[in-house]
Structure 1
Amino acid sequence: MELMQKLAVLADAAKYDASCASSGAGRRDSRRGGGIGSTEGMGICHSYTPDGRCVSLLKVLLTNFCIYDCAYCVNRVSSNVRRARFASDEVVRLTLDFYKRNYIEGLFLSSGIIRNGDYTMEQLVEVARCLREDHRFAGYIHLKTIPEASPELIERAGRYADRLSINVELPTEDGLRQLAPEKTAGGIRAAMGRVKDGIADNRAERREHARKTFARARPPRFAPAGQSTQMIVGADGASDGTILHASHALYRGYRMRRVYYSAFSPIPDASAQLPPRAPPLQREHRLYQADWLLRFYGFDVGEIVAPGDDATGGGMLDLDIDPKLAWALRHPQLFPVDLNRAPRETLLRVPGLGVRNVARILASRRHARLRLDDLTRLRAPLVKLLPFISVLDHHPRQRLDDPARLRAELAPKPRQADLFG
């Protein structure tokens, strides 16, 4: 198979991995000759470096061959898909060629399992080693780590890659046992622990080296952008509460930089164990919003998800309104919040207020009492904000007395059907 044919197959196969992805960019149709460029093609994704820069990455699999038979995976061993495999030097050549043409600033490399975990991990590490040592490549590298690989290979991967990721796949051990019997939750978490320990040990080693020698040269960094993971949504019966409890445990126990949520997509020749239809994409979106509240807004899982019937006590997120608004409507007794007096942690719970606007409010009220005109200058969504806050010239108590009516007012209205579509 020619190199570009392999690239077409393996870039398309990589699109199912959400651990490094650009999303939210809509299709742009030019009225004059089709325009230049695309936001929807496979092969390029975007990620963020430790200093906050957004970089474009070549996103491919080393191979879509796989000895495992995970029911939800299009590349499973029993799947009838076109197969391809890169040699390590081919990935290196593609990366360097695309980089020199200014198409990309780095590489995201994953793979199906060839022979066994160690053999596959050796191939991935060799690509990163060759780029770093033989070609002095200083761009961003994100490697997907094979959980079954030896600690020594994971250690080598962390020396060459900026970020490592290990997919947890499903939120429960029962789901993993049912849909991916070759994988174990214990093995996945053990590999995550090794990466976490490697990052912590490397930081301590670098600090100690700097303290003793006062030299600029320090030991090489280990996965300086941390580790991430991906969780499939809707392939098993796990509720949103179960998913968020699992994510919270990963953030707390493994210092995960990011948990990505990937809505299950029906695949050809699917197993009867899988649902016949994909979950609504809005569910994936609500999980990302809830994840943000856990990480940056001081919420607990039990506050975000309404009580349900599952063992963890968490049900499903409301698809019609965002999780912060849903929480506020369930607790009208906590509102309105006085923007001139409330502490930061209370302001962060107000629907319509983000971290940046909360910081602006705290800075502004040091100099004067806030009024509605001041909020207009913040460019905050006043329609959502006003029912939940009070300032010198605004107090909305009456609207909060009827949360159901307020919910109907604030919920997004369904779009009118296109009469000519």
Structure 2
Amino acid sequence: MLKAVILIGGPQKGTRFRPLSLDTPKPLFPIAGLPLIQHHIAACANLEECKEILIIGSYSASTMGQFITDMQKEYTMIIRYLQEFTPLGTGGGLYHFRDQVRAGNPAAFFLLNGDVCADFPLRELWKFHEERPNALVTMMGTEATRQQAIFYGCMVREASTKAVTHYVEKPNSYVSTLINCGVYVCSLQVFSIMADAFQRKQDEFYSGNGQVSPGYISWEQDVLSPLAGSNKLFAMQSTNWWSQVKTAGSAIYANRHYLELHRNKYSKSPCTIIPDVYIHPTAAVDSTAVIGPNVSIGAGVTVGGGVRIKESIVLNNATLHDHSLVMYAVVGQEATVGEWSRIEGTPSDPDPNKPFAKMDNQPLFNSDGRLNPSITILGAGVVVPGETILLNSIVLPHKHLNRNYKHEIIL
């Protein structure tokens, strides 16, 4: 029997995802028609050996309650949310709820970061882990460019055994192009390593040297780094698609790949479709609209005649009036786009000319204090009047625009 743990952080994280995370928790943001972490759950549910999924974070139980109820109805397995009493880091929450993870004595458990998107090769990872009796943790790795690798956890592997001999989280200088994907298989014995890390944190805190809560543990720095070189940490390199969701632009990129992975699940529509497209069954789409490629349309959305949408996500109950254009954008819940309006952003995809390139996740502003070109975001309830142009801009929720905007944040 196996279990899975999904780490989702809390509302104090995901600031680069605003304003989308102001009304929808980032783990529940819909990508390709499913909440972000439902893709994780679906991947775990495909393994018949996986009997329970524990979701750990510091969001309130009421915030996650309806989602958990929906997931338990959809999947024939136990799915529970465990709320941290305070943010405990990437390892602290896992250690705090170790008894719930160990209950039933699973052979091992998957550990997945909630902000990654991937074609999760969980069965291959589990088999790789089983073939190495010494392994306490086996992580999924992928190749990145030399320039981008320093923004991730970097590892060095022993060529024949695949044991990780060196691991550094976001190093200051080049270590390796093999990076950590935030997807792991762990044996239960890893909690003894975590107990040592927990004790060190306690000692530091109560001796006056600790800077954070004594229960705070960094999985990467307090567990993975010390395990490297001990012949207990291994890495399986995967060539499957993988990306992080740190910014709204990365959600558009992930949307494209998840649509491609699950294209056989999506129903046809009477309008002109350029694959791949997801349209919720309750959306009302005019037959003269042209949608795609790489578009997700949520529940209750109204799409008028002659509307053109590409490379975008349109959230629940939004309205796009006749002949409007939406490209490289996220249209928030209950937002309205008027007739003949143009909503357009700039894609922030990885460089297609560089093998293994990942999303750059640029900061909001460049060194000159100007807004970096990115996708356009309409927050929840935004109203864009007819014949308005909005380029490379971010509009916070419930704003009523009265003119054209370009490269601006509308507060």
TM-score range, shorter chain: under 0.3
Higher RCO by CA contacts (8 Å cutoff, separation 6 or greater): 2
TM normalised by structure 1 equals 0.24
Q: Greater share of strand residues, 1 or 2?
A: 2
Q: Greater share of helix residues, 1 or 2?
A: 1
